[in-house]
Amino acid sequence: MFRCNATLQGQDNSAIKAYSCHRFSANESLPPGQLMNVTSLSQLPPPDVPCDSGWDYDYDTLFSTLTSEHDWVCDEAWRPYLVVTAFWVGNTIGSWIFGTISDVYGRRPTILLIALVYGVAGVASVFVSDFYGFLALRTLVGSAHHTLSHLPFVLVVEYCGMDSRVVPLLTIMMTYTTASILAPSLAWLVWDWRILALLSSTPILLVLLMYRWIPESSSWLITRGRTQLATKQLETVAKINKRTLPGEKVNQLVSEGGDKSDEAAGEVASQSVIQVVRYRHLRNSILLVLLVWMLGCMCYYGHCQNTAHLGSNMFTSYLLGAAVEIPSWSAPWLINRLGRRLPLTVLFLLSGGASVLYALVPLDMEWLSLTLALVGRSTITGAYYITLQYGPEVFPTVVRGQGVALAETLGGVAIFLSPSIVYLGEILTTLPLLVFGGLSVIGGAATLFLPETNGVVLPQTLPQAERFCHRAARPFCRSKIEEETEMEAAT
């Protein structure tokens, strides 16, 4: 909160506060004798003089920020909004660029590049005072924002078997929620935006020290014909886990994707996610995945942004909103037993129902309204994270990085649009959650037509993925990739 640093004195010598961006010109608008009789703002003409004495900021509820330090308010209020916009535009562009790089050059070097971009740009932005320099650095930070966590997630998933693919999901959910709970507590403790920015940027540079222990994706290596290195990677993983890698398993992996000539490997390496348009069933499934991904991102981040408006204290509201995500940690357990499709559909519909009911509850029933809003937040959190698990599993290995990058790009667009929906609360308080509720219902309906990926081997090639999705052209139908893999190996 801020106000113009100018006041008038009323008849009883009490201060009459000025407006935020303008001050009163009472000395010019009212005769001197009448000025002493002013006791309220309603007796004064509308403020029409731009604030030229600086601004007073309320530091009781929020610490100093770059906005308050440079007075990015009133006529300069566009600056912080442009910074936020640039961040998400960078996220949209960076997701596609880094995703494509990960498919061409591998997951491992891309993770290193992302960590360098995020860490260096994040630290540098703390020490830059020029607005456009700060804007450029925040755009770079945004370009690595989502891929920084999602690409390592994809890498780990590609190393997991059918029964353990949900473990990375649970890990990323727990770390996200824990970080969201610690963030407002840490902000309250340090009470300095520069220290907070450094604490959120510097830890990622530890990846430089851990890089030698990060393995390349064995699935990616196999699709590139680099089977010897893939076998070596798998043997290293087995040794660390104190397991023995069966020779027949290695031979199976090589026969499925590795016995390729250099020309064939180069052809696979040049494949693009755009080529999926030639495969009808795969194309339809991917279009649905992209739709569900966008709706999940838009509704989840929209709920997060709207949570801050549910209470008078921003720190408490943010902390409470993060804490209600803890029940969603049960999502990995659910999708491991019930499949991906059914839990995702149910969570989307529950979030939609709670959000719509919130819009219908009278405003004076505060506790019921708050409960419904938090139920909507908790259930959409589970839906969002299941989408992160579900989406990459539908894409075949040869274009999985590009596919996830495309999903991240469209998700970035959806996230960019979500504040506009939250802003509808200025018109009607319940309108944002009503919109998010309707979008969640659409997401739940679209999920019914996705292929079930629980308990099946993930497809590696485009033809495999096409056959995998063929039997899932209608709701509740399962497809067994094992049968298709055996057919492909036999031919």
Pairwise CA distance, residues 186 & 315, whole Å: 10
Q: Is residue 225 included in any domain, yes or no?
A: no
Q: Please classify residue 429 by burial: count the beta carbons closer than 10 Å to its beta carbon, then call 0-12 exposed, 13-18 middle and 19+ buried.
A: middle
Three-class SS of residue 226? coil
Q: Mean pLDDT, the chain, as a whole number?
A: 80
Q: How much is the pTM?
A: 0.73
Residues 293, 387, single domain; the answer is: yes
Confirm whether 405 is domain-assigned.
yes
Does residue 4 sit in helix, strand or coil?
Answer: strand
Query: pLDDT per residue over 10-21, tens digit each?
Result: 444 444 444 567
Q: How confident is the model at residue 280 (pLDDT cuts 50, 70, 90)?
A: confident
Same domain, 169 and 49: no
Question: What is the predicted pLDDT for the residue at 25?
Answer: 56
Q: Which residues contact 333 (CB under 8 A, 6 or more apart)?
A: 166, 170
Q: Are residues 104 and 10 in the same domain?
A: no
Predicted confidence at residue 258, as pLDDT, reads 47
Could you tell me the CATH number of the domain that includes residue 430? 1.20.1250.20
For residue 7, give the H/E element and its range. Answer: strand 7-9
- Are residues 312 and 349 both part of a single domain? yes
What's the CA gap between 37 and 59, in Å, rounded? 32
121, part of any domain:
yes
| 486: in domain | no
The strand pairing partners of 49, in sequence order, are 23
Mean pLDDT computed over 295-320: 80
Sign of CA pseudo-dihedral 296, 301, 302, 303? positive
Q: Which helix (H) or strand (E) holds 1?
A: none
**166 shares a domain with 40:** no
The pLDDT confidence band at residue 32, using thresholds 50, 70 and 90, is low
Average pLDDT over residues 444-465: 87
C-alpha to C-alpha distance for 204 and 191, rounded to whole angstroms: 22
Q: Are both 54 and 80 inside the same structural domain? A: no
99/31 same-domain check:
no
Q: Distance between CA 273 and CA 462 in Å, rounded?
A: 9
Q: How far is CA 461 from CA 40, 219, 464, 486, in A?
A: 74, 11, 5, 14
Q: Is the pLDDT of residue 399 over 80?
A: yes
Structure tokens at 59: 């530091």
DSSP state at residue 452: B
Span 231-240, pLDDT tens digits: 888 888 888 8
Answer yes or no: is 243 within a domain.
Answer: no
Lowest mean pLDDT among 118-127, 134-143, 252-261: 252-261
- Domain holding 49, by residue range, is 2-58
pLDDT tens, position by position, 90-134: 988 998 899 889 888 999 999 999 999 999 999 999 999 889 999
Between residues 116 and 187, the one the model is more confident about: 116
| Residue 321 banded pLDDT, cuts 50, 70, 90 | confident
Give the HSE-up count for residue 462: Cα atoms under 13 Å, Cβ half-sphere: 17
As a whole number, mean pLDDT of residues 52-65 equals: 72
pLDDT in tens, 412-453: 889 888 878 887 877 888 899 999 999 999 999 999 999 988
Q: Write down the pLDDT at residue 137.
A: 96
Note whether 103 and 49 are within 8 A (CB).
no
304 and 409 inside one domain = yes
pLDDT band at 144 (very low <50, low <70, confident <90, very high): very high
Of the pLDDT bands very low, low, confident and very high (cuts 50, 70, 90), residue 147 is confident
Amino acid, res. 44 = L
* pLDDT tier, 491 (very low <50, low <70, confident <90, very high otherwise): very low
Q: Are residue 366 and residue 448 in the same domain, yes or no?
A: yes
Integer angstrom CA distances of residue 337 from 166, 340, 347, 349, 390? 10, 9, 15, 20, 14
**Residues 8, 122 share a domain:** no
Beta strands at 22-23 and 49-50: parallel, antiparallel or unpaired: antiparallel
Q: Verify that 45 and 178 share a domain, yes or no.
A: no
Number of domains in the chain: 2
Residue 244 located in a structural domain: no
Mean pLDDT across 192-205:
89
> Are 157 and 282 within one domain?
yes
| Rounded CA separation 18/14 (Å) | 13
Whether 261 has a pLDDT exceeding 50, the answer reads no
Is position 475 within any domain? Answer: no
